[in-house]
Amino acid sequence: AQKITQTQPGMFVQEKEAVTLDCTYDTSDQSYGLFWYKQPSSGEMIFLIYQGSYDEQNATEGRYSLNFQKARKSANLVISASQLGDSAMYFCAMRDGDKYIFGTGTRLKVLA
């Protein structure tokens, strides 16, 4: 069965530093999509970045980049130059077929 694993329940990072949030996935399909979402304390789900399984380049969106290692089935999110507003819950998700499956999330706290 498809599965997303986020092994870091919580992370701290100093403001202006970079941080990596881990995500591994399990699927037997060749075609799939990987997503990261941010959920601030206000509760909404904000889409950050997408990586397709056939994309050869790692996805980047501003300060967010996705370190995609297909052979290892990992899709880590890298946030560069952390800001206080980055403090939130971060979810890794996979679209396998029609469904979006989410990991348990990592709570990131950015320290001033």
Please provide residue 37's backbone torsions phi and psi, each rounded to the nearest 5 degrees: -125, 150
Of 5, 20, 24, 33, the one binding another protein (CB under 8 A) is: 33
Report 37-96 residues binding another protein (CB under 8 A): 37, 43-45, 47, 50, 52, 91, 93, 95
| Residue nearer to another protein on the CB measure, 44 or 112 | 44
Of 105, 106, 108, 110, the one binding another protein (CB under 8 A) is: 105
Question: Could you tell me how many residues of this chain bind another protein (CB under 8 A)?
Answer: 21
Per-residue DSSP letter, 7: -
- What CA–CA distance (Å, rounded) separates 64 from 37? 11
Q: Is 84 helix (H, G, I), strand (E, B) or coil?
A: helix
Q: Does 103 bind another protein (CB under 8 A)?
A: yes
Q: Is 12 helix (H, G, I), strand (E, B) or coil?
A: strand
Query: Checking DSSP bridges between strand 106-111 and strand 10-14, what pairing results, if any?
Result: parallel
Query: Checking DSSP bridges between strand 106-111 and strand 88-96, what pairing results, if any?
Result: antiparallel
**Least distance between another protein and beta carbon 24 (Å):** 16
Q: Does 102 bind another protein (CB under 8 A)?
A: yes
**Interface residue list for another protein (CB under 8 A):** 31, 33, 35, 37, 43-45, 47, 50, 52, 91, 93, 95, 98-105
